[in-house]
Every structure is written in C-alpha cells, then in structure tokens.
Structure 1
Amino acid sequence: MGKPAKDMFDPKVFLAKVGMGKAILGYRKNKIIFAQGEVAESVFYVQKGRVKLTVISEQGKEAVVGILEPGQFFGEGCLNGRPLRIGTSMAMEDCVITSITKDAMNAVLDGEPKFSELFMAYLLTRNGRIEEDLVDQLFNSSEKRLARLLLLLAHFGKDGPPRPVLAAISQETLAEMIGTTRSRVSFFMNKFRKLGLIDYNGTIKVHNSLLNAVLHDKPHIAADRAVDRE
C-alpha cells in the first residue's frame, strides 16, 4: 500500500502552486508589494528575487528593517490580528511571490504538520536574528555591524559557498540597516577592500578573512568603537 496522501504533502510544492486562497505573483524591480498602512490580509513567500522591508516614522524618516531572499515569509503580522501593515515591502529585483490569504494560511497551518514545521522554523530563525541585531546595535561599532551584515548577506554560515552581494543593495541601504551614515559605510567599504576582506566591483564578494576578523575581534574591525557608534 502507498503512503496516505497527507504524508506526501510537500510545503515547497504547496507554496509554488496556485490554489484556493493562493496566487503566484510577479513583481518587477522597485515595485511595491504592500505599503505601510494598507489593510493586512495576506502572508507572502519569496519564490524568486529579493524583497526590501522598510518602515517610515511619524517624522518621515525611512529605515530598512530587512532584506528577504527566496524561502522567506513576510507580512505574517496579519495572523496575530494586526489589521494594518506596519511597513512597506518592495521588490529589489524581478521577483516571484506567493500570496496566501489569512484564512488559507490558518487552514494549512492547522491541517499540515510539515507546513507548520516549516513556518515555525522561519519564525524561530527570524526571532533569533532580531535578538542578534539588538545585541549588535547595543554593543558593536558601526564598522563591525557593517562587517556582520555583509557576512549575513553573503550567506556565510549557511549551506553552500558564500554568494556575492548584489549591487542592488546600495550603500544607502546598508547604512540604514546598521544605523549609520552612507559616508561611514563608504569609508568602511573602502577600508575592507584595501585590507583584502572584500572585493567591490559591481557586486560585493566577501572573503573568509572578513569572517575571521569579526570572530577574532581583530583591531581593524574592533577599533574606535566609541567613535564609530552612531
């Protein structure tokens, strides 16, 4: 006898197909997926491309709070009763996005343990990243925060070789993500390049030496902590 159909459920296949309450959407570069203040009624999943999440304060100041890649969810705040979007999501490059209505998302979470495991793993990873970011902001210099961000964007510590960081991630975006100025990011990027920690020509190629510098708190990364903190 074959396995019951429920045992054959594949979360990745489910997310890649159109179905009840699901749509597969294409977004061109720089297109808004949802805007801050809009009604929140769907969860999204990145199939292809990168998505930037931003928040605008009451004073009109914009901050980048995340860059999402394939395999990541966003907009899940609607599941805990949040009626409006608290930020804006925008395609950084041509993207393919799965949209799942709140009702459809709750149904698959209740009915499919494998999907629940996938979603829970995402939530735990995201919460761990938030905690690490908070510690980073509290205790590290802006130089070291930039080094850590480049390592994360290049996928150090994940399966497979490090990836180049796309040129679409500008110095302004990097500055917003680590809480400093574009001029400081430019200064540190040039410094990292001169030290041989990165290559920076169209895309950013991060070398293992940058990881070693961060892990071992080398002087050229850790120095001037009080001066660099902004």
Structure 2
Amino acid sequence: MEKIRIKQAEKLIRQACTKQKRTMMKKPEAGVINVRNFEDTIKELIKAEDYIYESLPTHRLSKEEASGFCQHLLKARAKIDKILSDFKVLEIEDLKDKIRKLSQDVLIITTKSDIRRSLSKRGIEAPHIIVTGAPLSVEDMKKINPKIPEKTLESIKKKIEHTKDDIKRKIENMGIKKVIVLAEPNPTSKLIGKKAEELYNAKVILYKDPKDIPDDELIKILT
C-alpha cells in the first residue's frame, strides 16, 4: 500500500512539473468562477489539513504520510491553476499539443507496445511510431541467438523486411525528416539503434524506462 501511494505521489509530481508551462501575467481579466474546481480545491485542502492535526505536536510525516499529504496539495494546486488560467493570471500551455506538433516530421522506432501507448498518450500520433521486437537485419538476429533454427529465421526475415518497408514508406510519404530509436538499453535495442543509424541516420536514445520518460525530456529528444 505504501509503495502504491508513493508511486501515485511521484506521478503527480512529475505531471505537475512537466505537463504544463506556467507564465504569470500582470493583471487578471474578467471571467467566470468555475465553482466545481473551487469546491474540489477546498475538499483537497481539507483532506490535507487532517495531516496537520494527526501529526501533532511535531508535524513530522512518515514517507507514506508525506505521499498522501502531497497528493492532496498537488490535486488542489492543479485545480487552482485552472481557476487562475480562467482569469488569465496563469497562461497554461498544454505540452501534449507541443509534443504533437514537434513530432509531425518525426518517426520513432521502439521495441514495446506499452512504450507506443505511452507515447501516443503524450501526443505522438500512432502513424509516427513503429514497434519492432526484432533487429533490423538477419545478421543482427544471429548475433542475439546464434542457434536460431533456419525455419524460424526465415519467418523473422520476412518480419524484418516488412518493418523496413514500413519505415521506408513512412519516410517517403509522411514528410519524415528525423528518425529516432527510443528503447530500453538492452542488446536488441542497441543493435536496432546501430542499424537505424546506418540506414536512416537515426538518433538513438536508450532510456531505462521509456514509457515513463518525463515530457520535458521527450520534448528535448524531439527537438
């Protein structure tokens, strides 16, 4: 339970730090109070207030308690930011839209479907992502598994050719200017990256857990 709450808090912190860009403006403008957001803010602050009384007299929180306390504050902060943006006090830029725009001429090669799903949720459109679990050459496949049967190798060879044809078609038809390999740092990914550098002048990013890469890091990779 403690680990779950800590992970939830860490996720909220990452979202708060990278999902939106905030710019202060000099004066608020006329607007309408979003009462629902205001009420939700108060509810979260009341929940956070409980930790003040429960931690008397020192107000010291354990790691699990700190995670719960911070979750309520971050949720309240998100609601407050929305209210302030309604009155133009905060100008909020949705990084999902920024990522979508930056990836319009990019093709990302990755190795797992969950990475593709994560990238899609961030704003990268599905046609700009290719998933392959195999290297981009038969020779590299043999390096990974020298004892692979010839019959199996023939099947994999067809998949490799299909993947390469798909990459070529997308580069030619979608105005792709940059190819990026984004995957975990394992032997297969390294071989895919090396071959993609050779074939497509690809940029290779081997990240410990690509599906959890922060939005600001993803933006740096795309630019």
Name the one with the larger helix percent: 2
| TM band (smaller chain) | under 0.3
Which of the pair is proportionally richer in strand? 1
TM-score by length of 2: 0.24
TM-score scaled by structure 1? 0.23
Rg (Cα) greater in structure: 2
